Amino acid sequence: MALETDNLRRYVDLIDDWEAFAAACERPLPVVIWTNPLRRAVLERLNDADGLVCSAQGDATGGGLLAARLKARGYGCDDVGWYPGAYKLDGVPKPGRTLEYLLGTYHVQEEVSLIPSVVLAPRSGELILDMCAAPGGKTAQIAVAMASEGMVVANDVRIDRLRALRSNCERLGLLNVAMTAHDGTGFPLDAGPFDAILLDAPCSCEGNVRRGISTGHRRPGAFLAGRSGLQATLLGRAWKMLAPGGRLVYATCTFAPEENEMVLDYSLGDDARIEPIRIDGLTAAPGVTEWLGQALRPDCANVARFWPHLNDTGGFVVALVGKEVAA
């Protein structure tokens, strides 16, 4: 993987400990699952039926019982610590094929990719747009956090990827998700205003380096420029649909400031404020306020950069943006 890390050397001045970063990029990524509280009764009935576990610690998500069942089969299952009911698995050969999975009692999702929906902090009864939603891990988190009240509009331009989203929603028993298949750059404005919007933007995926997804083929200049244009157009459209006083989370799984802070700097106006992000149990590095000689809006410092070595995860960059209410 050394070649991959070499491709990331352009970020050396942004990273507090390059050696630790490079070492983390070489390590394989643990498989992580989160427990679906909506299927807690199903899990309990399954356990009553097969009697695999005699007693498990009670908790709101059903995660204690799920973990106990996986451990009873000899698998490793360690609490991630910061996300209720989420565990790092060890030794489960096909986590997407267990009976518990098929019954919708958990979802497999990379740990760092759990963060944007937590930052969005969905509330019951809200109308929320997930603009680039497929295959739907974050949509599912949002729907679950709303306790089935309110609505998530899960949009994606790719019908084939929306099929996976629909299958995930059905398996997890989500009742408050509506699917749409628009190009987000032309999403119908009259569908809004939305209380909150997640824009998990298509990106160059550098943060997936630990999943062995190659960055070696990339031509940084051309690739980044193409992505940045699409990201800025999506963000501009999303902003128009966000209610005054609403919140928008912009996230990518890539490190390039061209796809993160520079997009925010280009697209956001005076009615936007990038807010600080703090998640107990996770470490984030500050955002970039100057890149390639260009000064960026000062609140880009509040962007949270989750470099792989900081929490032993993949990489993600997340911004929480509040929209001012006009005076």
Ligand X SMILES: C[S@@+](CC[C@H](N)C(=O)[O-])C[C@H]1O[C@@H](n2cnc3c(N)ncnc32)[C@H](O)[C@@H]1O
Q: Is 253 a catalytic residue?
A: yes
Binding mask 147-166 for ligand X (x = CB under 6 A): ---------xxx--x-----
Binding mask 233-272 for ligand X (x = CB under 6 A): ----------------------------------------
Q: Who's near 47: CB < 8 A, 6+ residues apart?
A: 53, 56, 65, 69
Buried b (16+ CB within 10 A) or exposed e, 311-321: bebbbbbbbbb
CB of 308 to ligand X, least distance (A): 17
> What tokens appear for 117 in the block?
């929906």
- Number of residues located near ligand X, criterion CB under 6 A: 16
Region binding ligand X by CB under 6 A among candidate stretches 58-66, 90-98, 181-189, 219-227 = 181-189
Could you please report the per-residue DSSP string of 251-290?
Answer: EES---GGGTHHHHHHH--TTEEEEP---TT---EE--SE
Q: Is 132 near ligand X (CB under 6 A)?
A: yes
CB of 253 to ligand X, least distance (A): 6
CB of 133 to ligand X, least distance (A): 5
Q: Is 200 near ligand X (CB under 6 A)?
A: yes
Q: Is 183 near ligand X (CB under 6 A)?
A: yes
**Which of 243, 251, 147, 161 minimizes the C-alpha distance to 198?**
251
Q: Look at residue 88 and give its three-state secondary structure.
A: strand
Q: Is 122 near ligand X (CB under 6 A)?
A: no
Q: Is 136 near ligand X (CB under 6 A)?
A: yes
CA dihedral 181, 186, 190, 196 (to 10 degrees): 80
Q: Is the peptide bond before 37 cis (omega within 30 degrees of 0)?
A: no
Q: Is 110 near ligand X (CB under 6 A)?
A: no
Q: What are phi and psi of 231, to 5 degrees?
A: -60, -45
Region binding ligand X by CB under 6 A among candidate stretches 38-46, 183-191, 239-247, 303-311 = 183-191
Q: Look at residue 218 and give its three-state secondary structure.
A: coil
Q: Please identify every residue annotated as catalytic.
A: 253
Q: Which residues bind ligand X (CB under 6 A)?
A: 132-138, 156-158, 161, 183-185, 200, 202
